[in-house]
Amino acid sequence: MLILVINAGSSSLKYQLFDMPEGVVLSKGLCERIGIPGGRNVHTDRYGAKHEFQVEMASHTDAIKILTERLTDPEFGVISSMKDIDAVGHRVLHGGPGFTESCLVTPEVKKAIREVIPLGPLHNPANLMGIEACEAVMGSVPQVVVFDTAFGTATMPPKAYTYAIPKELAEKHHIRRYGFHGTSHRFVSARAAEMLGRPAEGLRIVTCHLGNGSSCSAVKDGKCVDTSMGLTPLEGLVMGTRSGSLDPAIIGFLAEHEGMTAAEVVTMLNKKSGLLGITGGLSSDCRDLMAARADGNPDAALAIDMLAYSVKKYIGAFAAAMGGLDAVVFTGGIGENNEVIRNLIAGDLEFMGVKLDPVKKLKHEKNCDIAAADSPVRVLVIETNEELVIARDTLALVGLA
């Protein structure tokens, strides 16, 4: 079965074509600057060769048409027509309280995604545009949505997801902890169990998805029991441009003393804070900050230390919440590729059973265990694959339809 996976952003659209159930990627690509002058499509064919095109795309429907042309191109396409595609799977950021698992797209599901736009104002509109663009171009091909919030929403207990605010307001506005990066946390926690040769039941794992956006999840018996992100992706760890957790009174303080609205402060906390804010606007990219840190930049050094410190605190807190720890998993762009930050996080946790191998911890490898042989807690570096999860869920649901 051929399944097309779509991940639509506000001005971008990523796609991968899978041959399922084997999970073979036949082709993939990226359309960016949708609705913005200077549009670009980077398409990777079945042989791994990249082809770049400058093409204007006024809407996500245009982007879907572009990927249609690429996938069916006689030279580097992989299918004869879009009729060869059996189903489409979409990543949707926020499912609100009503969705705890993936589901087939129906008019009612689209309505529900639209209704929770206030909870995911940056992503849900784009995700919905991707769904409707596929409908416009591909007609009645079955579509599936995989919610980023589902992994946490489904299994977190009330003591973990409830905020200590007036109950009537929380219920009226669906204010609770949802958690994000759920598709990634779900994939790497299951992969960790496989690598350890143990069933998910009985395992206590902290998964650390570290990138420009970062989060940690406590996964016990294969289920998410707590997570660092909350109502929105702003809560939790120090991130590229997001502040992470802070005293909520700061919002009112800045609004009063800087003449800002609450919305303006929240925008600042989302887009101008985190690593970018700590370094005075130097960069939100860890690669830039690592170079600046090596050159002696104190702000860059502080930013890296704060990122590692925030992750370290969540590992300790989640281990306590689960009554112990069997493994720590690092994934995401930073988690998979930055051994320095991994070592800053886990290098001095021997008191809780985390002991790194002195050689393995310095290697730039993925899908491996960097813990010492005698470490009671394993430390795994796992390459995440959210698209494969989406393809698998799509296969399962379309097969049941």
pLDDT in tens, 130-183: 999 899 888 889 999 999 999 999 999 999 999 999 999 999 999 999 999 999
CATH number at residue 213: 3.30.420.40
Half-sphere exposure of 328 (CA within 13 A, CB side): 33
Q: Which of 111, 131, 147 represents a domain boundary (last residue)?
A: 147
Q: Which of 147, 164, 184 represents a domain boundary (last residue)?
A: 147
* Average pLDDT of the residues in 94-102: 93
Contacts of 12 (CB under 8 A, 6+ apart): 30, 31, 32, 33, 34
Can you tell me the distance from the alpha carbon of 152 to that of 229, in angstroms, rounded to the nearest whole number? 10
Are 283 and 292 in contact, with CB atoms under 8 Å apart?
A: yes
| Assigned domain for 154 exists | no
Nearest Cα to 347, choosing from 320, 323, 311, 382? 311
* Average pLDDT of the residues in 333-359: 96
Q: Which of 128, 147, 166 represents a domain boundary (last residue)?
A: 147
| Assigned domain for 169 exists | no
| Assigned domain for 94 exists | yes
Same domain, 233 and 377: yes
Whether pLDDT at 374 is above 70: yes
pLDDT confidence of residue 351: 97
Whether pLDDT at 122 is above 80: no
Nearest Cα to 205, choosing from 369, 374, 390? 369
Q: pTM of this prediction?
A: 0.92
Same domain, 130 and 15: yes
Kindly report, residue by residue over 229-262, the tens digit of the pLDDT: 999 999 999 999 999 999 999 999 999 999 999 9
Same domain, 102 and 202: no
| Assigned domain for 184 exists | no
Beta strands in 87-172 (DSSP E): 87-92, 103-104, 143-147
User: Which residue type occupies 26?
Assistant: L
Kindly report, residue by residue over 185-217, the tens digit of the pLDDT: 999 999 999 999 999 999 999 999 999 899 999
Same domain, 141 and 207: no
Instruction: Please say whether the dihedral angle defined by the alpha carbons of residues 49, 50, 55 and 56, taken in this order, is positive or negative.
Output: positive
Which domain range does residue 79 map to?
Answer: 2-147
Q: Give the catalytic positions in this structure.
A: 148
pLDDT confidence of residue 46: 87
| Assigned domain for 138 exists | yes
Mean of all residue pLDDT scores within the chain: 95
Same domain, 20 and 119: yes
| Assigned domain for 118 exists | yes
pLDDT confidence of residue 400: 63
Same domain, 108 and 206: no
pLDDT confidence of residue 263: 94
Beta strands in 176-279 (DSSP E): 204-209, 215-220, 223-227
Beta strands in 210-361 (DSSP E): 215-220, 223-227, 327-331
Task: Look up residue 211 and give its two tokens.
Answer: 């990138």
Task: Look up residue 359 and give its two tokens.
Answer: 């050689």
What's the structural domain count of the chain?
Answer: 2
| Assigned domain for 152 exists | no
Can you tell me the distance from the alpha carbon of 78 to that of 72, in angstroms, rounded to the nearest whole number? 6
Whether pLDDT at 60 is above 80: yes
Can you tell me the distance from the alpha carbon of 15 to that of 71, in angstroms, rounded to the nearest whole number? 10
* Average pLDDT of the residues in 331-354: 96
DSSP 371: B
Same domain, 102 and 209: no
Task: Look up residue 133 and give its two tokens.
Answer: 């663009």
Place of tokens 């997570």: 227
Same domain, 90 and 221: no
Q: For the chain, how many residues are written?
A: 401
| Assigned domain for 123 exists | yes
Same domain, 202 and 132: no
Same domain, 318 and 234: yes
pLDDT confidence of residue 327: 98
Half-sphere exposure of 37 (CA within 13 A, CB side): 0
Q: What share of the chain is helix, strand, coil (3-state, %, to 5)?
A: 45, 20, 40
Q: Is the peptide bond preceding residue 358 cis, with omega within 30 degrees of 0?
A: no
Contacts of 89 (CB under 8 A, 6+ apart): 3, 4, 5, 6, 143, 144, 145, 146, 390, 391, 393, 394
